[in-house]
Structure 1
C-alpha cells in the first residue's frame, strides 16, 4: 500500500490512507464532487443527462490515460482488475478519476504479489489480469456510449 500512496496522476483518485487488520481492509481517498459515473449514466433522475458527447469522449480518453499510467508508467505496475462505471468518480468539471485501484494487484519486474484484488473471479496469470482491465475498459466504453449496463449472457439465462 505504501507504493500506491505515492501514485500521482490527474485521472486517479488520491489515496489518503488505509487500514489492514486481519482479513479486514479499508482505504480512504479524496472526496470527488460529482460522485460516480454509474449514477450519471443509470440513476440520474433528470430528463436530459449532463453527460454530453464531448464529456463522454473526455471520460473515455482520460480513463484510458489513467489506465495506461497504471499499466505502463508506474513502477511497480498496478492492475486495478475492476474497471466499471461505479469505480470512475467525476470531479466538478466532469473529469474522471479511477478509484479502487488501491485494492489491486501490484506487479514488479522481480516478483508479483497480491495486496488485495477487486477482481470478481480468481485469475491465475498476470496476463489474464491485464486482459481483464482491457476487457473492463472496453465494456466501460460501450456503457458510456450506449448508456446501457453490461449484462453477461449467463445472467440473462438465469432470469428467463
Structure 2
C-alpha cells in the first residue's frame, strides 16, 4: 500500500513537471496594479518588476513601486522569490516571499503573498494576488507588527516572458 501511494505521488509530480512551461533562464518583465487598505487608508500602487527563473519552479524578482493615497505619494523597492507550482498546464499557484521597503517613510515588510498565474500565450502571463502574511512596519507609527490580510490587498499583473 505504501509503495502504491508513493508511486502515485511520483506519477502526479512527473505529469505536472512535464507540463511546466517555465524553464531555467526565462526572464519576465511585467508589473502589477494593486489596491490595499492599511489602517483605514485606501492605497493604490503601480509596481513594474523583473523576474529571472532559476529553474521551472523557482524565480527571483525585483521591482520598484509607486504608492499613492489621498494624503501622499511614496516610492519603494522590493526583492523576493517565487515558487511556481503547476495546477494545470497554464495555471500556477505562485506564492511570493519578499522584502519591501518604502523610501519616503520608515515602512518595511517581509511578506508572503499568494498569487495565481495564468499563461495566456507562450509569452504573456497574467497574475492575481489576494492577501498577504507578513511582519514589518506598516504604518507611520514605527511599530513593528505581524499582519495577516485576507482581502485588504488585491493585485492584478501582466508580464511578458522572453
Q: State which structure, 1 or 2, has the greater radius of gyration over its C-alpha atoms.
A: 2
TM-score range, shorter chain: under 0.3
**Larger strand fraction of residues:** 2
Q: Using CA pairs below 8 Å that are at least 6 residues apart, which structure has the higher relative contact order?
A: 1
TM-score normalised by structure 1 residue count: 0.27
TM-score normalised by structure 2 residue count: 0.27
